Structure 1
Amino acid sequence: MSRAIGWLLVIALLLCLVVPGFIAFRVWHVARVDDRTTADAIVVLGAAQYDGVPTPVFQSRLEHAATLYEEGVAPQIITVGGNQPGDRFTEAGAGRAYLTELGVPPTAILAVETGTNTVGSLDAVALTVRDQGGGSVVLVSDPTHSYRSRMMARDAGLDAWTSPTRQGPAVWTRENQILSIIRETGAVLWYQYHRIVGTDVDFPG
């Protein structure tokens, strides 16, 4: 019996090492993908804004989305994200205003001002895109966020691929990138756990 328990412990230990290692590799691998296939919409994942002004991280995502729009990747940009208690502006609204400053026509921007995390925002986007008769999106976020956001978008029923920004604080240093991979590995494990047990995902990012 003791030998069987020992082998079970070894297997459990290996799983604890292999599974996170595989997910970390997937986070790193998808972060390197820049897929600009034509889609129904470009979706900019929200980030912090202060009194209507996007943070540098958010600005980097929005500027990349504007470039994709100019290249004809999609006829519409969707900004997402609600607001925190006390905020006068939503992430989606701040993103829409910034995109208009970049020269994107207001008629080509749709703000989905719901959701306090990625999965909530993407569920709302999926409903919006389907209501418009579409089904495909290009997701714009930071590189290491791409794997999880793509997984969530596909779970919501969208044909989703990723074109992450390559500028901004999230990608400035190797240390930032490594820390982001570690954080995203934990976030993916958390999401997968909640999906398996059938509970709501409350991870903040």
Structure 2
Amino acid sequence: MTRRTLFTLIAVLCLVVAGTVTGRMAWFYLSIPSSNTALTHFDTLIVLGNPCNSDGTPGPEQRERVLESVRQYQQGIAPRIIMSGGAAHNQWIEADSMKKLAVSQGVPADAILEDTKAQNTIDNIVNSSAIMVTQGWHSAEVVSSPSHLPRAALILQHYTTIAWRTDASRWPPEYHFAVILAIYASEIKDCWQIHTNGFAARRRPAYAPALSTQTR
């Protein structure tokens, strides 16, 4: 067997293995449940944060998530909204920007609660769940970008006992296909890491409730 033939065989084998792993990752990602309840109306909507622009205005995904929550609110899916997001990526508090946009779209200010501390998706869900406990609420529809919802669902399964379902916002019209594809690839990788390694202790907020027995 020549070196060229051996190299070709190794390359083909690597592609087959990579394809198999990639396929398993994608299959797991697509199999993550989008809800744990048959409810169609909820105590609250939860909108997961996304960065503001450098001038404090809503970034593209943040804008689309908020606009989707406004549509859901106006359809009567829930009577209130929790906006979750701190100054995680720049000096601007995401929840403030999100609330301002929702109010400008006709949602009453007193129908919106804010979590201004969250630094990541686990924080978004843990903090919002804590707000729900203080209010005596037990169900939520969680709004985020389409690619983000499977990871959010894994976190909801792991860190909460509420009834929930997820709802996808629209992609920003300014996003090209390649950008969306890259975002999906990153989320598939993140979900697979959670599946294989569980939730790393370093990512667990100090104020998070005791973990459930589910580790994947």
Equivalence for 1:168? 172
* Distance in structure 2 (CA, Å) of the matches to 1:40 and 1:93: 21
CA RMSD, aligned part only? 3.0
Deviation readout 1:62-93 (Å, 9 max, x if unpaired):
01100000000001111111104761x31011
Deviation readout 1:112-146 (Å, 9 max, x if unpaired):
11111101111111111122111211111111111
The unaligned stretches of length 5 or more in structure 2 are: 1-12, 205-216
Q: SS of the residue aligned with 1:161?
A: strand
Q: SS of the residue aligned with 2:141?
A: strand
**Shift in Å, 1:28:** 4.6
Residue of structure 1 aligned with 2:187, choices 166, 184, 187: 184
When normalised by structure 1's length, the TM-score is 0.77
When normalised by structure 2's length, the TM-score is 0.74
Larger Rg: 2
Cα separation, partners in 2 of 1:73 and 1:22, compared to 1, 3 Å: farther
**Shift in Å, 1:200:** 2.5
Matched, 1:45 2:44: no
Matched, 1:22 2:28: no
Contact 2:140 2:165 in 1 (8 A): yes
Contact 2:50 2:59 in 1 (8 A): yes
Equivalence for 2:138? 135
* Distance in structure 2 (CA, Å) of the matches to 1:174 and 1:30: 23
The unaligned stretches of length 5 or more in structure 1 are: 1-9
Deviation readout 1:132-170 (Å, 9 max, x if unpaired):
111211111111111111121222213221111123158
Matched, 1:123 2:123: no
* Distance in structure 2 (CA, Å) of the matches to 1:36 and 1:102: 26
Matched, 1:78 2:78: no
Q: How many equivalent pairs are there?
A: 186
Contact 1:122 1:152 in 2 (8 A): yes
* Distance in structure 2 (CA, Å) of the matches to 1:169 and 1:32: 24
Equivalence for 2:3? none
Over 6 Å off, 4+ runs = 29-33
**Shift in Å, 1:29:** 6.4
Percent identity over the alignment?
Answer: 23
